[in-house]
Amino acid sequence: MSTASKGLEGVVAAETEMSFIDGERGVLEYVGIAIDPLARHSTFEETVFLLWNKRLPRRAELDEFSRSLRGLYPISESTAALIRAMPADAQPMHVLRTIVSALALEDPAPNATEPDAVRAKGLKILAQAPAIVAAFDRQRRGLDPVAPDSSASFAENFLWMLNGEKPTPTMARAFDACMILHADHGLNASTFTCRVIISTLSDIYSAITGAIGALRGPLHGGANEGVMVMLNEIPSVDAVEPYVMGKLQRKERIMGFGHRVYKAYDPRAVYLKTLAKQLAEDTGNADLYAKSSKVEEIMEREVAAKGIYPNVDFYSATTYHSIGLKLDLFTPMFALSRIAGWTGHALEQLEANRLIRPKAEYVGPHDQPYTPIDER
């Protein structure tokens, strides 16, 4: 009988002061503050300060933090040249992973692991990731990059660089709320990856690059794109029932549902659902919201008893679509925000570092002869 904990389910492998998650009751707090009021009333910049400093900033502190972040928006000419070298048909997550990795090459001390150095490097990666995604997306559309606006918030600046026009306050607010909701979430797969890498005393660029790779998978951050693919495959609200039932009968997964930790409604999905509805109505996407809500209704009837509810990815798909984002930008949006959590976890790991090195249970044969190659 194997003693391996498959998927490390239930294993506590780190301490954190950032996110508290109660999966049974559907609770998520950042530094003790419930996610819902944060999503409704905070800003992404304030939330990053909260996660990195374990307290809310005073106004002057937030101004100073925002100034530092915004001052780092412009990417270097060598980063811009690397983005120009990316093939037009590359997937944005691969581009983001590649260019974030390359940011280490312009850092004179990329390997520094002192807290101030890691924080400064994390801040720069956080500040520049939006420009990387926006410039690549414009380039593949045959458009020139748009210079960042250092007077704009993280959310406004991204939408400005992507579209070349200022977002409406509603759009900027909705995007900012999405960034808050995705910023941190305990020891999820990409954060674990980040902590494993930094625990070897490797560098923050490697840790975040690895985390982006882990996030891309369809069982993790890639699920938001999977949700949109599914909604596009369903032609109408009436077609939802046979589509979902067919998938469940074939034992296929419905993207955007289920969670390793939540066995109740994902608290991030609560506000996202409201946001998705309002934005869909405002942008002529009411049919998309209607399909989403029908999927949820059927899943509630069929599988809620097993503890399978919408997760953060389900309503973020409709929200991002209504904001006007292309399908393959959905997972990069998750990454833009989660860089905050990854950096915070890297700092926490380094504060009391011990190499993360679990064991594998060997289940193969023993005492095998070595057969020379020509005799096999």
Residues that bind ligand ACO (CB under 6 A): 7, 188, 219-221, 223, 253-260, 303, 306, 308, 311-313
Residue 23 or residue 110: which is nearer to ligand ACO going by CB?
A: 23
Tokens of 17: 């002061």
CB of 320 to ligand ACO, least distance (A): 14
203 included as an active-site residue: no
3-class DSSP state of 33: strand
- Dist. CA 331–CA 313, nearest whole Å: 9
Q: Which is nearer to ligand ACO, 257 or 342 (CB)?
A: 257
Token couple for 243: 């589509």
Given 182, 185, 220, 259, which residue is catalytic? 259
Could you tell me which residues are beta bridge partners of residue 28? Answer: 21
What is the number of the residue whose Cβ is closest to ligand ACO? Answer: 258
What angle is formed at CA 316 by the lines to CA 193 and CA 303, rounded to 5 degrees?
85
How near is the Cβ of 269 to ligand ACO at its closest, in Å?
Answer: 10
116 catalytically annotated: no
From residue 85, how far is each of 79, 82, 206, 227 by CA, in Å?
Answer: 10, 5, 21, 31
Give the other-Cβ count within 10 Å of 56's Cβ: 15
Q: Residue 320 and residue 338: Cα distance in Å, rounded?
A: 16
- Least distance (Å) between residue 308 CB and ligand ACO: 5
The catalytically annotated residue of 182, 313, 321, 345 is 313
Q: Which is nearer to ligand ACO, 118 or 230 (CB)?
A: 230
| Residue 251 C-beta: closest distance to ligand ACO, Å | 6
User: CA–CA separation, 251 vs 157, rounded Å?
Assistant: 42
CA–CA gap between residue 314 and residue 310 (Å, rounded): 6
Is the CB of 79 or the CB of 311 nearer to ligand ACO? 311
Catalytic residue list: 259, 313
